Chain A
Amino acid sequence: MNNNEKYQVWKERPCPMDVSSDFSADVMRRVYQEAGQRQSQWNWPGVLECFQRNVSFQYAALAFAALAGLSRLWLIFFAILQP
Protein backbone atom coordinates (compact mmCIF):
# COMPACT_ATOMS: atom_id res chain seq x y z
CA MET A 1 0.00 0.00 0.00
CA ASN A 2 1.49 3.34 -0.99
CA ASN A 3 1.30 6.55 1.03
CA ASN A 4 -1.72 7.94 -0.75
CA GLU A 5 -3.63 4.73 -0.25
CA LYS A 6 -2.71 4.71 3.43
CA TYR A 7 -3.86 8.31 3.71
CA GLN A 8 -7.19 7.38 2.10
CA VAL A 9 -7.64 4.43 4.46
CA TRP A 10 -6.87 6.66 7.44
CA LYS A 11 -9.34 9.27 6.25
CA GLU A 12 -12.11 6.85 5.39
CA ARG A 13 -11.81 4.46 8.31
CA PRO A 14 -15.09 3.99 10.11
CA CYS A 15 -15.45 5.57 13.50
CA PRO A 16 -17.29 3.07 15.73
CA MET A 17 -20.31 4.95 16.98
CA ASP A 18 -22.54 3.19 19.45
CA VAL A 19 -25.28 5.47 20.62
CA SER A 20 -26.65 4.12 23.88
CA SER A 21 -30.28 3.03 23.70
CA ASP A 22 -31.12 5.41 26.55
CA PHE A 23 -29.72 8.47 24.81
CA SER A 24 -32.96 9.88 23.41
CA ALA A 25 -34.87 8.93 26.58
CA ASP A 26 -32.29 10.78 28.71
CA VAL A 27 -32.46 13.83 26.45
CA MET A 28 -36.27 13.83 26.57
CA ARG A 29 -36.25 13.51 30.37
CA ARG A 30 -34.14 16.67 30.58
CA VAL A 31 -36.28 18.38 27.94
CA TYR A 32 -39.50 17.68 29.91
CA GLN A 33 -37.79 18.95 33.05
CA GLU A 34 -36.79 22.19 31.28
CA ALA A 35 -40.27 22.55 29.76
CA GLY A 36 -41.84 22.09 33.21
CA GLN A 37 -39.54 24.69 34.77
CA ARG A 38 -40.30 27.09 31.97
CA GLN A 39 -44.05 26.74 32.49
CA SER A 40 -43.75 27.37 36.19
CA GLN A 41 -41.80 30.60 35.62
CA TRP A 42 -43.55 33.90 34.87
CA ASN A 43 -43.42 34.60 31.19
CA TRP A 44 -43.35 38.42 31.08
CA PRO A 45 -43.28 38.80 27.29
CA GLY A 46 -46.31 36.50 27.18
CA VAL A 47 -48.15 38.63 29.76
CA LEU A 48 -47.42 41.80 27.78
CA GLU A 49 -48.61 40.14 24.59
CA CYS A 50 -51.80 39.04 26.30
CA PHE A 51 -52.33 42.59 27.60
CA GLN A 52 -51.83 44.00 24.11
CA ARG A 53 -54.40 41.66 22.60
CA ASN A 54 -57.10 41.63 25.28
CA VAL A 55 -59.19 44.85 25.22
CA SER A 56 -61.25 44.10 28.33
CA PHE A 57 -58.04 43.49 30.22
CA GLN A 58 -56.86 46.95 29.06
CA TYR A 59 -60.13 48.58 30.29
CA ALA A 60 -59.80 46.83 33.61
CA ALA A 61 -56.21 48.04 34.00
CA LEU A 62 -57.27 51.57 33.03
CA ALA A 63 -60.13 51.54 35.55
CA PHE A 64 -57.76 50.29 38.25
CA ALA A 65 -55.25 53.04 37.39
CA ALA A 66 -58.02 55.69 37.49
CA LEU A 67 -59.27 54.48 40.87
CA ALA A 68 -55.76 54.42 42.25
CA GLY A 69 -55.18 57.96 40.94
CA LEU A 70 -58.47 59.29 42.30
CA SER A 71 -57.89 57.79 45.68
CA ARG A 72 -54.56 59.61 45.85
CA LEU A 73 -56.18 62.87 44.78
CA TRP A 74 -58.81 62.34 47.39
CA LEU A 75 -56.08 61.94 49.98
CA ILE A 76 -54.43 65.19 48.80
CA PHE A 77 -57.75 67.12 48.91
CA PHE A 78 -58.42 65.64 52.29
CA ALA A 79 -55.04 66.88 53.53
CA ILE A 80 -55.47 70.38 52.06
CA LEU A 81 -59.08 71.01 53.09
CA GLN A 82 -58.88 69.22 56.43
CA PRO A 83 -62.66 68.88 56.80
Chain B
Amino acid sequence: MPEDSDIVKHVLNGDVDSFRILVERYQRPVLSMIRRLIWDSHRCEEIGQDVFVAAFLKLSTFDPARSRFSTWLFTIARNMSINALKKKTPIPVENVPEVLDSRDPSDELSDKEFFAQMDQTLKALPGKLQRAFILAEFEQMPYEEIARIEGIRLGTVKSRINRARLRLHAAMKDIVKGRS
Protein backbone atom coordinates (compact mmCIF):
# COMPACT_ATOMS: atom_id res chain seq x y z
CA MET B 1 0.00 0.00 0.00
CA PRO B 2 1.56 3.34 -1.01
CA GLU B 3 2.42 5.80 1.76
CA ASP B 4 0.36 8.98 2.02
CA SER B 5 3.41 11.18 1.40
CA ASP B 6 4.24 9.26 -1.81
CA ILE B 7 0.68 9.72 -3.06
CA VAL B 8 0.89 13.44 -2.25
CA LYS B 9 4.09 13.67 -4.35
CA HIS B 10 2.36 11.93 -7.27
CA VAL B 11 -0.59 14.31 -7.07
CA LEU B 12 1.70 17.34 -6.93
CA ASN B 13 3.53 16.04 -10.00
CA GLY B 14 0.28 16.12 -11.93
CA ASP B 15 -1.20 12.67 -11.29
CA VAL B 16 -4.56 13.96 -10.06
CA ASP B 17 -6.06 10.45 -10.19
CA SER B 18 -3.91 9.35 -7.25
CA PHE B 19 -5.84 11.72 -5.02
CA ARG B 20 -8.72 9.23 -5.18
CA ILE B 21 -6.65 6.80 -3.05
CA LEU B 22 -6.41 9.42 -0.31
CA VAL B 23 -10.13 10.17 -0.53
CA GLU B 24 -11.05 6.50 -0.25
CA ARG B 25 -8.57 5.94 2.55
CA TYR B 26 -9.77 8.83 4.72
CA GLN B 27 -13.42 9.40 3.78
CA ARG B 28 -14.81 7.32 6.66
CA PRO B 29 -12.73 8.80 9.53
CA VAL B 30 -13.11 12.33 8.17
CA LEU B 31 -16.89 12.04 7.79
CA SER B 32 -17.23 10.40 11.18
CA MET B 33 -15.26 13.21 12.80
CA ILE B 34 -17.30 15.91 11.04
CA ARG B 35 -20.56 14.21 11.95
CA ARG B 36 -19.62 14.10 15.62
CA LEU B 37 -18.37 17.68 15.65
CA ILE B 38 -21.35 19.27 13.90
CA TRP B 39 -24.02 16.86 15.19
CA ASP B 40 -25.63 16.72 11.78
CA SER B 41 -25.63 13.66 9.55
CA HIS B 42 -27.21 15.46 6.61
CA ARG B 43 -24.51 18.05 6.15
CA CYS B 44 -21.47 15.95 6.95
CA GLU B 45 -21.00 14.62 3.38
CA GLU B 46 -21.28 18.11 1.92
CA ILE B 47 -18.68 19.42 4.38
CA GLY B 48 -16.59 16.28 3.84
CA GLN B 49 -16.45 17.01 0.10
CA ASP B 50 -15.34 20.58 0.83
CA VAL B 51 -12.62 19.23 3.13
CA PHE B 52 -11.14 16.97 0.44
CA VAL B 53 -11.35 19.64 -2.26
CA ALA B 54 -9.67 22.17 0.08
CA ALA B 55 -6.99 19.56 0.86
CA PHE B 56 -6.37 19.10 -2.87
CA LEU B 57 -6.08 22.84 -3.44
CA LYS B 58 -3.72 23.34 -0.50
CA LEU B 59 -1.74 20.15 -1.06
CA SER B 60 1.46 22.01 -1.93
CA THR B 61 1.46 23.51 1.59
CA PHE B 62 1.48 20.07 3.24
CA ASP B 63 4.89 19.40 4.79
CA PRO B 64 5.49 15.73 5.66
CA ALA B 65 8.35 16.76 7.96
CA ARG B 66 5.92 18.69 10.17
CA SER B 67 2.96 16.34 10.42
CA ARG B 68 1.33 13.22 9.09
CA PHE B 69 -1.07 13.64 6.19
CA SER B 70 -3.97 12.39 8.32
CA THR B 71 -3.29 15.02 11.01
CA TRP B 72 -3.10 17.74 8.37
CA LEU B 73 -6.37 16.53 6.81
CA PHE B 74 -8.14 16.28 10.18
CA THR B 75 -7.04 19.84 10.94
CA ILE B 76 -8.78 21.03 7.77
CA ALA B 77 -11.85 18.98 8.75
CA ARG B 78 -11.81 20.49 12.24
CA ASN B 79 -11.57 24.05 10.88
CA MET B 80 -14.33 23.51 8.35
CA SER B 81 -16.57 21.93 10.99
CA ILE B 82 -16.09 24.96 13.23
CA ASN B 83 -16.95 27.26 10.30
CA ALA B 84 -20.02 25.16 9.52
CA LEU B 85 -21.14 25.36 13.15
CA LYS B 86 -20.86 29.15 13.08
CA LYS B 87 -23.17 29.33 10.07
CA LYS B 88 -25.45 26.61 11.27
CA THR B 89 -29.14 26.63 12.11
CA PRO B 90 -30.32 24.61 15.18
CA ILE B 91 -30.03 20.84 14.75
CA PRO B 92 -33.16 18.72 14.60
CA VAL B 93 -33.21 16.25 17.50
CA GLU B 94 -33.47 13.25 15.18
CA ASN B 95 -30.00 14.01 13.83
CA VAL B 96 -28.28 13.15 17.08
CA PRO B 97 -26.36 9.89 16.50
CA GLU B 98 -28.41 6.91 17.56
CA VAL B 99 -27.32 3.91 19.54
CA LEU B 100 -27.21 0.50 17.97
CA ASP B 101 -27.67 -2.08 20.69
CA SER B 102 -29.70 -5.16 21.37
CA ARG B 103 -30.54 -4.95 25.04
CA ASP B 104 -33.78 -5.40 26.92
CA PRO B 105 -36.48 -3.25 25.26
CA SER B 106 -37.74 -2.12 28.67
CA ASP B 107 -34.36 -0.52 29.31
CA GLU B 108 -34.14 0.87 25.83
CA LEU B 109 -36.37 3.87 26.29
CA SER B 110 -34.76 5.02 29.51
CA ASP B 111 -31.31 4.43 28.06
CA LYS B 112 -32.21 6.37 24.95
CA GLU B 113 -33.39 9.19 27.16
CA PHE B 114 -30.19 8.99 29.17
CA PHE B 115 -28.05 9.07 26.01
CA ALA B 116 -30.04 11.98 24.60
CA GLN B 117 -29.51 13.95 27.80
CA MET B 118 -25.83 13.14 27.81
CA ASP B 119 -25.62 14.28 24.18
CA GLN B 120 -27.35 17.52 25.11
CA THR B 121 -24.88 18.04 27.95
CA LEU B 122 -21.96 17.39 25.64
CA LYS B 123 -23.38 19.79 23.07
CA ALA B 124 -23.77 22.44 25.74
CA LEU B 125 -20.06 22.27 26.65
CA PRO B 126 -17.77 24.99 25.28
CA GLY B 127 -16.51 24.09 21.79
CA LYS B 128 -12.92 23.56 22.94
CA LEU B 129 -13.88 21.04 25.61
CA GLN B 130 -16.41 19.36 23.35
CA ARG B 131 -13.93 18.87 20.50
CA ALA B 132 -11.18 17.54 22.74
CA PHE B 133 -13.60 15.07 24.33
CA ILE B 134 -15.11 13.94 21.00
CA LEU B 135 -11.74 13.44 19.33
CA ALA B 136 -10.31 11.54 22.29
CA GLU B 137 -13.25 9.47 23.45
CA PHE B 138 -15.38 8.98 20.35
CA GLU B 139 -12.77 9.10 17.61
CA GLN B 140 -10.10 7.42 19.77
CA MET B 141 -7.39 9.81 18.63
CA PRO B 142 -4.09 9.92 20.51
CA TYR B 143 -3.67 13.05 22.66
CA GLU B 144 -0.58 14.10 20.67
CA GLU B 145 -2.61 14.15 17.45
CA ILE B 146 -5.39 16.15 19.09
CA ALA B 147 -2.78 18.65 20.28
CA ARG B 148 -1.50 19.07 16.71
CA ILE B 149 -5.00 19.36 15.23
CA GLU B 150 -6.08 21.93 17.80
CA GLY B 151 -2.71 23.70 17.76
CA ILE B 152 -2.33 23.49 21.54
CA ARG B 153 0.01 21.83 24.03
CA LEU B 154 -0.42 18.26 25.19
CA GLY B 155 -1.10 19.39 28.76
CA THR B 156 -3.92 21.63 27.54
CA VAL B 157 -5.50 18.70 25.69
CA LYS B 158 -5.41 16.56 28.85
CA SER B 159 -6.84 19.38 30.92
CA ARG B 160 -9.68 20.02 28.44
CA ILE B 161 -10.61 16.33 28.28
CA ASN B 162 -10.53 16.10 32.04
CA ARG B 163 -12.75 19.17 32.44
CA ALA B 164 -15.20 17.77 29.91
CA ARG B 165 -15.29 14.44 31.74
CA LEU B 166 -15.89 16.13 35.09
CA ARG B 167 -18.78 18.16 33.69
CA LEU B 168 -20.29 15.11 32.02
CA HIS B 169 -20.02 13.07 35.22
CA ALA B 170 -21.68 15.87 37.17
CA ALA B 171 -24.45 16.08 34.58
CA MET B 172 -24.86 12.31 34.67
CA LYS B 173 -25.43 12.42 38.40
CA ASP B 174 -28.11 15.08 37.90
CA ILE B 175 -29.79 13.04 35.19
CA VAL B 176 -29.88 9.94 37.37
CA LYS B 177 -31.08 11.98 40.36
CA GLY B 178 -33.79 13.58 38.26
CA ARG B 179 -35.09 10.17 37.29
CA SER B 180 -35.21 8.62 40.75
Q: Is the interface of A mostly helix, strand, loop or mixed?
A: helix
Interchain CB contact under 8 A, A6 and B114: yes
Contacts of A30 in B (CB 8 A): 49, 53
Q: Are A10 and B118 in contact (CB under 8 A)?
A: yes
Q: Do A15 and B23 touch across chains, with their CB atoms under 8 A apart?
A: no
Which of the residues A3, A13, A20, A27 comes within 8 Å of B23, measured between beta carbons? A27
Count, chain B residues at interface, CB 8 A: 35
Q: List the A side residues contacting B16 at CB < 8 Å.
A: 31-32, 35
B143 is an interface residue with CB less than 8 A from chain A: no
CA gap between A3 and B168 in the complex, in Å: 12
Q: A17-B35, A28-B20 are in contact. Are A11 and B52 (CB under 8 A)?
A: no
Q: Note all chain B residues with C-beta closer than 8 A to A20.
A: 45
Interface magnitude class on chain A: 20 to 34
| Residue in A1, A7, A27 whose CB lies within 8 Å of B107 | A1
Is A44 close to B, CB under 8 A?
A: no
Taking Cβ atoms with an 8 Å cutoff, the residues of B that contact A are 16, 19-20, 23-24, 27-28, 31-32, 35-36, 45, 48-49, 52-53, 56-57, 97-101, 107, 111, 114-115, 118, 137-138, 168-169, 172-173, 176
| A-B complex: 5 closest residue pairs judged by Cβ atoms | A13-B99, A15-B97, A27-B52, A24-B23, A31-B56
